[in-house]
Amino acid sequence: MRNIKVFMAYRGTNYHGFQRQENALTVQEVVEDCLEKILGEKTQICGCSRTDTGVHALEFCFNFFTDKNIPETGLVRGMNTILPDDISILSCEQAPDDFHARYSCKAKEYIYKIYNAESKNPFSSDLALHYKKPFDVELVSMASKAFIGTHDFKAFCASGSNKESTVRTVYDFSVSKNGNEIIMLVKGDGFLYNMVRIMVGTLLCVNEGKIDAGGIEEIILSKNRVLAGRTAKPHGLYLSRVYY
């Protein structure tokens, strides 16, 4: 059996996240159906992340096992021929038997895109959050640094998460603005359910004066979700990179 490691990108607009569901179309279902056509057998893939409905991926890793001898290049070309235009296979290689897309992952990087203007942008309606209010880059950037480090992020986790530990390490958090585009980038060893979206929503509340710029550390220590900001909408979020 060969363990195949694959990187893909997808636009999440038309999907209810990555993970297969009984009553909704997901990225996993589409990719597995594609592999079944190519390999002639049902194949289950293991993804590096679940990603929510409407969330996108610039670099998403999955792996699967097969005894077929199809070349990696042929697999990339074959899948891209069958897959819809909003899913693209970027690369494919044979990995060690013990490689697992999720459990072997050392870090992940997410970006959140915001279109900051009074008028909406019809070309990014499902790819960036439309945010009308003036945006103070220096203020928000300063506030975001409180996220960096190893903390208990229970206050930034949506209810319903079944994670035993809510401690995570954030390596970097940056905020930049170029014209009408705002990019928030966060890199960490792992993220809780809706964690990045709640962090972004909290920073937007800081920008609006609803949360004090120096108050994020106190919110983290409180472990109280009620004290953190809103959950930013999913369509601005991208899984940008995974590290192994």
Distance CA 233, CA 156 (A): 15
Residue 147 is given by DSSP the state G
Identify the active-site residue in 33, 52, 85, 189. 52
Is 189 a catalytic site residue?
Answer: no
Residues 6+ apart with CB under 8 A from 48: 60, 61, 62, 101, 102, 105, 108, 239, 242
Q: Regarding beta strands 237-243 and 107-116, do their DSSP bridges make them parallel or antiparallel, or are they unpaired?
A: antiparallel
Q: Considering just the CA atoms, what is the radius of gyration of the chain in Å?
A: 19
Measure the CA angle with vertex 218, ends 183 and 213; round to 5°. Answer: 45
Short-list 202, 199, 187, CA closest to 243: 187
Residues marked as catalytic: 52
